Amino acid sequence: LAELTSSVREPGWTRKAKAFEAALRSSRDLSRDERDSLWGEYQRAWDAFKEHQQERERLAHDQHAGLSRCLDDLEAVLESREFKEVADRFQADLRESRALFKKQRDDLWSRYQGLWKQRKRLRERDANDSDLARRQYVQRLYGLDFSYDGAPIMQSFSNWERVGHKVRATREQLKAMQREVKQDARLLGRDRKAVFDEIQDVWFKVSQAEETTFHVHGERAAQLYNEAYAAVDNMAPGAAAAVLKANGAEIRSLWLSRADRANYKQWFDELWQRLRYKREEAHAAWRDRQEAGLEKLLGARDRLLDALDRVRSNNRLNESKLADAWSDGYRDRVSEWLREGEERERDMERSLDELESKIRDARDRLRG
């Protein structure tokens, strides 16, 4: 009985109590007073046990409620990185919760295991979603068009004429994709890193395509400049200006570095200046020729006017002779001279009109 009274908080107490009670009932050597005394002590032990059980039930209830709240917290972070931390806290609290009854402990543990299984299913779902998102990003990367084929130096200019614009568009698409990947909640860490690695690989290829574009377009720019330079030296100013304008416009459309673009602008400005000098020289030579031609026309007009004056004077003289003719024969000869003179006068007047017209045209050209 003393052992039973001191062990009310130990497991298996009811079994010991039933064994004591059976022994007490079967004992025949005890007096009534002894039996009653032992039975009273036994009942007090039962009261102590019941009080302990009530205290344990209250404590078990509190511990069970606390652990249930911990499982609620664990369920709330099923898809979070905090899950492991909360799970470790639950296990530690469960080990320290000694007042729990077996069924309570089993129920809590069963729910805990269920949450782990649910998390595993969610992680498998997340892994599948992440892998699908990764493959979609990679597919988009493979669909980018910047015309890089591994041997760019061998390409002709026509194959690389529009690559610069494609490179610029691809760069903008890659920047947008980097922002999208960074914010995409579907991607897990390893898949996010894999996509970023793929983007970096495409960045490298785009940079190679851009360098090749600079090279090919640089060669084209040099060719266009050489053509323009030769045109200024060897062509008439009008034809040279057409070449300068066309080649300059094409160079401005090429994919060149900022420094090369500035150089070609300066060089073409210098070619235009040379062409202006050439035009001025040609215009001066043309003006000299026009002025010389005008001088010749004016000299011819002066000479024609002098000759016309002489013809007119001679015609007036023949008219007087005709009026004073003393014979028919002489009159016929003078009439013939006068007819020829008047015809010559009309021819010279027409020639004078033509000269005046040429002089006006020459002066108009000089004024223009």
0.85 surpassed by pTM = no
CA distance 135 to 139: 6
CA distance 235 to 243: 10
pLDDT digits (tens, 9 = 90+) for 311-352: 999 999 989 888 888 888 888 898 999 999 999 999 999 999
CA distance 296 to 161: 57
Structure tokens at 72: 């609620």
pLDDT digits (tens, 9 = 90+) for 146-190: 765 445 455 556 555 567 778 888 889 999 999 999 999 999 999
Q: How large a percentage of the chain has pLDDT more than 90?
A: 53
Q: Output the pLDDT for position 147.
A: 66
Q: Output the pLDDT for position 150.
A: 44
Widest pairwise Cα distance in the chain: 216
User: How large is the angle between the packed helices 32-76 and 83-96, nearest 10 degrees?
Assistant: 180
CB count within 10 Å of CB 83 equals 20
